[in-house]
Chain A
Amino acid sequence: MLYTLREAFARKVFLFFMIISGLILLTEIVIFSMVDTEKIIASLNSTGDPLMRGQIIEKIELAVYSFITSLLLLLAIFASASFVPNMLEKGTVDLFLSKPISRSQLLLGKYFGGLLVVFINISFLILGMWLLVSFKFSYWDFSFLSTILFIVFTFAVLYSLLVFFGVLTQGSTAGMMIAYFIYIILSPLLAQAYIQIDVWTENKIYIYLVKGLYYIVPKTAELLGTDAINVVTGAGIDDYQPIITSFLFLILMLGFSIVLFRKKDF
């Protein structure tokens, strides 16, 4: 597991993340120093209510958050997609499999190693962002940090998919395409469709199909969207279903990956 960290270092994943994070944070600093934020807040908050002020700051945090999470996840998927295929490369896989380690341990080691890499990088950026905003407004609200968990969890779900397709195809392309497709297109679309399908059509088959699909596909859009935002604003999660079904998806994917990996000839 620690060697996945080492691998990430060596392949400059960390450097890359840090540069991107640095750029994002720098942009934030520049914007903050150029714009008179207090004036804007004051104009939005005519009564000077301190509660209102907190809400506005939260909004600013969330606006930045939603902009960067998509970027972060795209990067994280890109960086981690090759962890498993690299281990399965011809000539390398023989070395790993001939060691006194079970195949499930090998695969899970890669999985949690990758997760750790992403966790460290994401924590760094979110923490940096949060510190900036907090100092700027002298407003300390720790609930924003919980977004780290949401991002890492969402990544964990998508990473299980990457691992599965990594084992299946011994390449990184297929998994990456599918992960991107789910994250960018399918999950947001299904989240919308789930709510509105009854309005769109009366055909029962379509309705079942869309709803069925909705439950199967990991709900990255909701995890990063409403769920994360609700926690930050203190509204709380009203529906645990997206978290539970996505987690089941993760377990299932890892399970399939292990079964497949154990059966495979190299």
Chain B
Amino acid sequence: MNAIEIIGLTKIYFSSGGRKKVEALKDVSFEVATGSIFGLLGPNGAGKTTLIKIILGITHPTTGTAMLLNTSIDNYFIRRKIGYLPENHKYPTYLTGVEVLKYFGQLAGAEPTSLKKKTDELLELVKLSNWKKNKIKTYSKGMMQRLGLAQALINDPEIIFLDEPTDGVDPIGRKEIRDILADLKAQGKTIFLNSHLLSEVELVTDRIAILNKGVLLKIGSVTELTEKKEEYKISVDAENLIEEIASSGRSFHLKPQKINGGYSINVSGDEELNLFIDFLRSKNYLIKEIVPLKSSLEDLFINIVNESEKGMK
């Protein structure tokens, strides 16, 4: 089943009195399966925030629509089952941590009877218990982000939208947030994540989509998208390996390329890899390291975005 269905969303912003037109989203469609963690990636201004804002009724789509839990987003009651951490969220600064959760919990339709208990639980979860009675104007950026996460969970939502949740959070805090997300997933919640911190997304998401200038470029699981043909990095002390292969008269499919500290080779299979090792050993080269190369999400991201930019020109 799909928790989120996005159906042909297009959003055109008109600014400076209608003279300037920005197509923030261009006919975007995709689904997010119930109980999964989904990451939406894209450079600044790609339209990630716009997409979430449309789904949550903060901005109106130009055309297209979306469904949450099989209910149209035009029905605002469905937001009772939704949690949201906006980017650059700002709470009334005169409230304390507890009051923020109480206030927005009430607005979100949380059960009044369980609200107090839930508030304490969540503040414990995001490690703000010691600060709960302090006014939030005294909070640091990372603390605000944790509070925002707690606020997004206050009504025990089925779907949680997080716009740059780790923004301004230190590495330990990020790890904690990742653990919280994994925990939520284990409870069967669906999580929709906006981020440009690719190394983080890689660690938690089941599926990702890449968005650039309002266009959905790619969608799939992280392993699917980052998988590469067999390629290895071999570290070996050899000055003129490429010439030596050429003069040896042996024809490998591989085309070794010099990279820092060694060579990278493409092989057609394990057999060829071993043949190449035999060759190196026959020349008495010392092999120091053989590492399979996998393109990182970052490489993928940069490649896809660059290609699409070229395509647009």
Instruction: Show the binding face of A for B, using Cβ within 8 Å.
Output: 3, 7, 10-11, 86, 89-102, 263, 265-266
Contacts and interface: CB of A to CB of B under 8 A. Distances in A.
Given A7-B92, A10-B92, A10-B94, 15 more contacts: A3-B103, A90-B88, A92-B89, A93-B58, A94-B53, A94-B56, A94-B86, A95-B89, A95-B104, A97-B56, A97-B57, A100-B76, A101-B107, A265-B58, A266-B53
Contacts, number: 66
A265 B84 contact: no
Interface of B: 13, 53, 56-60, 76-80, 82, 84, 86, 88-92, 94-95, 103-104, 107-109, 151
A98 B92 contact: no
Closest 5 CB pairs of A and B: A91-B90, A10-B94, A94-B86, A100-B79, A100-B80
Q: Is the interface of A mostly helix, strand, loop or mixed?
A: loop
A102 B88 CA distance: 23
B226 to A, nearest CB: 32
A263 B58 CA distance: 10
Contacts of A102: 76
Contacts of B53: 94, 266
Nearest to B88: A91
Contacts of A11: 94
B90 A100 contact: no
Contacts of A94: 53, 56, 58, 84, 86, 89
Contact of B92 (A86, A90, A97): A86
Nearest to A106: B107
Most buried by B among A89, A95, A97: A95
B90 A98 contact: no
A3 to B, nearest CB: 6
Nearest to B89: A91
A213 B109 CA distance: 45
Nearest to B94: A10
B33 to A, nearest CB: 22
Contact of B86 (A7, A10, A95, A101): A95
B86 A91 contact: yes
24 contacts: A3-B103, A7-B92, A7-B94, A11-B94, A89-B90, A91-B88, A91-B90, A92-B89, A92-B90, A92-B91, A94-B56, A94-B58, A94-B86, A94-B89, A95-B86, A95-B104, A99-B108, A100-B77, A100-B79, A100-B108, A101-B76, A102-B76, A263-B60, A265-B13
B49 to A, nearest CB: 9
Contacts of B86: 91, 94-95, 98
Nearest to B83: A98
Nearest to A97: B58
B4 to A, nearest CB: 14
A98 to B, nearest CB: 4
A96 B92 contact: no
A100 B292 CA distance: 50
Contacts of A92: 89-92
Residue of A89, A91, A99 with most chain B CB atoms under a 10 A cut-off:
A99
A86 B13 CA distance: 24
Contacts of A91: 86, 88-90
A94 B104 CA distance: 12
Given A100-B108, A266-B53, A266-B58, A95 B91 contact: yes
Contacts of A266: 53, 58-59
